[in-house]
Amino acid sequence: MNALQSISRFFFIVLGCAIAATSLAQVNPEVQQLFYQGYLAAEKAPWEQAIEKINQDASLDETKKLHAVTEARCGLLIYAMANQDEETYDAIADDLEESLETLLEQNAEDAVALAKMARLYAVTMAFQNWKAMYLGPKSEKLVDRALKADPKSPDAWMQRGGSRLFTPKTFGGDIDEAIAAYQKAVQYYEAQPNYAKNWRYLDALAWLGQAYQQAEQPSEAITTYQKALEVEPNFGWVKYKLMPQIIAQSSNK
């Protein structure tokens, strides 16, 4: 695997888009549940239903609505990536970028919007990996700005963790830094209200476990996966893939 392919692989695997606790708190519980359902089931419909309900919610001002809608659109990006559905990506990417640009025009140091834009670049590079060499550095700079604006942004730490995990060492990859970044993401999600119902928290635990696994720390990986399943027993990605995988690898050694 060459350097460009390795960088593109990172941006393929980091599938999420940023969301802040304040944004979740500003949408009704039914929409929050749709976010959660869409992630766990890897389905398109819950994210589309969430967008419809957000647009119908007269209690949200335009900025709050933009944050909520961009989160749902990012969920659709996750679906598109998981299913290699380029049609869905093409249908939402431009609108998502335009909405994020609007938020950044309102506040250039909006850590949530910065992190979301960095993740949008990541998904763009997954579908168009020839863009990795110039969008990759732009994504990193956006994460730097997000962390400067909010050093406790779990979303930005997730992006930083993925970068260090999948980028080749010659381009700045570092497994120890990846683990540290994922640990911070988990820590800062746990500081948010109702974190156990935030799908991003589950995602952080899953990636922390995989970083431990790559670092050949199986006991830490298993402990992390167990923690994820305690929070959500029906977390299929961990229950049926990641946990059996690390247990099988450990038993073969």
Q: 112-166 pLDDT, tens per residue?
A: 899 999 989 988 988 998 988 888 899 999 999 999 999 999 999 998 998 888 7
Phi–psi pair at 142, nearest 5 degrees: -65, -40
Overall number of domains in the chain? 1
85: helix, strand or coil: coil
- CATH number, residue 157: 1.25.40.10
Which residues in the chain come in under a pLDDT of 50? 1-22
> For residue 162, what pLDDT is reported?
84
Domain holding 48, by residue range, is 3-251
Q: How far apart are the first and last CA of the chain?
A: 26
Give the residue among 90, 72, 70, 71 at the shortest CA–CA distance from 80: 90
Return the pLDDT at 166: 78
How far apart (Å, rounded) are the C-alpha atoms in residues 215 and 221?
A: 9
pLDDT for 29-44, tens place per residue? Answer: 899 999 999 999 889 9
